Structure 1
């Protein structure tokens, strides 16, 4: 079977296989370096204060976004690419979507952190000044690398076939497991990482995916809003969290994300009866559902 025929008939398997393979291969030097397992005695240089921009970001860009572009281009051609980029550029939505994601994420994570904290502090001026620029950096790195694949490609192919909730419960664990090699590096706390931290992260990614599906659907499939939600989690935890809770155990971050995301996911599933804001299009092409 020719490759383009296989990709056209099996778009989701092709996308996920390619996304995992490209990212994991690109992350291999980082995993083997002294930033990870220490097999190769080389440390990735720091850029903007972190080695992750050079060690992690290339693999992120080579995985979800490139795989989504290739599969869309092969299977759907220019019309598919226009739909794909259309969602990526759909930033003109009601302002309160951005306000809700920008403010709701810190509030939810702060409330979830309180039972684990030994104190609470008002963040200093340096944190407040750095917060917005750091969020912009997260948007053009993590957000742009991942979400055009997970939410802009995979989710619109999963929902017509499996429904919003079942589609999300497929996507969420795969999104979480995609990060697996990074737990063997400084990114995941190596060498102090435990198996239950990985499990907590995957379950948290699944719960967060439920929230992101609802936001994506209800905002009119606006990828920028979904990206703001995703990157707001990363940004708060990396920039402000330890400043707000100076005595907290840094290893509890996955557990706190798990709690906040699970509570929000359960509420949304109950309120929407599992629909998560998804409204199937009346003219949904049959072949798109069957070949996704």
Structure 2
């Protein structure tokens, strides 16, 4: 098995990620928070039950698989390098400012464009909770998902296939990884539709292009990539309902798709598909002289 993992690290990473997460999500999907086949309700209301039901599977999947495969294929040196990339906070402060401002601004514009209604000023309580909520999202969603999808899988695929093809591979897999959660309240069950699932996967693909660009342009700063991911989640978890009291689940989904798809298309056009990845070094060779 060790030889197989060393030979096909990406195949093992994706397989273990799906297997571990989907297995851990079975109780949540079967409970009263999902299909109702198991007569048990996860405590804590909608937020608490999702933390107790979703988070274990999220942690058991991408981050655990990445650590396991890295340890087997690269040993302690690989794990130390992995840790150094995960703690690469030292990037230009403008990157943090751009992410913190651009994410809520883009999502607000998207909601306004779709709903044709001006936003309300968020209350002082929402403003006070926004940054703590973002920090919580970084520890939960960001730390659970991005060390696997963006830190482990993306660079390896990008080295082999280039940034465009790598993102086309990671994006759909990342979106489909969430499939069992659509059988729970997390995904809107029992009112969820196939269209909603498809829209989520397309949004994940578009978001992946944006995150690839940020990852490459920041020199592989995982904290910045996690901040970008969690910024979208935090906006809809904390601020959106207060700014747009009329906002429905479907409207929020449409706004995410619009904002992220627009950003992805702009980046693809302006970078000509390179997404911030520097061109591969090459050397020109002169033909050998003949006598």
TM-score normalized with structure 2 length: 0.94
Query: Counterparts of 1:137 and 1:146 in 2: how far apart (Å)?
Result: 14
Flag the 1:48–1:42 CA change in 2: closer, same or farther, 3 A: closer
**1:77 alignment partner in structure 2:** 75
* 1-structure distance, mates of 2:45, 2:4: 40
CA change 1:152–1:280 in 2 (3 A) is farther
1:96 corresponds to: 94
Q: Which runs of 4+ in 1 moved over 6 A?
A: none
CA RMSD of aligned residues (A): 1.5
Which position in structure 1 is the counterpart of 2:18?
20
* Cα drift, residue 113 of structure 1: 0.7
Pair 1:224 & 2:223 matched: yes
1:185 maps onto 2:184 in alignment: yes
Q: Which moved more, 1:182-191 or 1:81-90?
A: 81-90
Q: Is the 8 A contact 1:47 1:54 kept in 2?
A: no
CA distance in 1, matches of 2:280, 2:67: 23
- Counterpart CA distance in 1 for 2:39 and 2:279 is 53
Shift of 1:50: 2.4
1:153-198 residue CA offsets vs partner (Å, 9 max, x unmatched): 0001110111001100100000000001001101011111111110
Q: Helix, strand or coil for the counterpart of 2:110? A: helix
- Offset of residue 241 of structure 1: 0.8
CA-CA distance at 1:247 after TM superposition? 1.1
Pick from 94, 109, 118: which aligns with 1:111? Answer: 109
Secondary structure of 2:48's aligned partner: coil
Structure 2 unpaired stretches of 5+: 283-291
Determine if contact 2:240/2:247 at 8 Å carries over to the other structure. Answer: no
Report Cα offsets for 1:130-170 as digits up to 9, x if no partner: 11111000000000000000111000111011100110010
1:287 aligns to what?
none
Q: CA-to-partner distance for each residue in 1:75-130, whole Å, 9 max, x for gaps?
A: 11122212211110101111111111111110111111113324521111111011
* Residue 72 (structure 1) shift: 0.5
User: 1 CA distance for matches of 2:47 and 2:16?
Assistant: 30
**How big is the shift at 1:281?**
6.5
Mean Cα displacement is larger for which, 192-201 or 40-49? 40-49
Query: In the alignment, what sits opposite 1:273?
Result: 272
Query: Which of structures 1 and 2 has the bigger CA Rg?
Result: 2
Structure 1 gaps, min length 5: 284-292
Q: What residue number does 1:46 align with?
A: 44
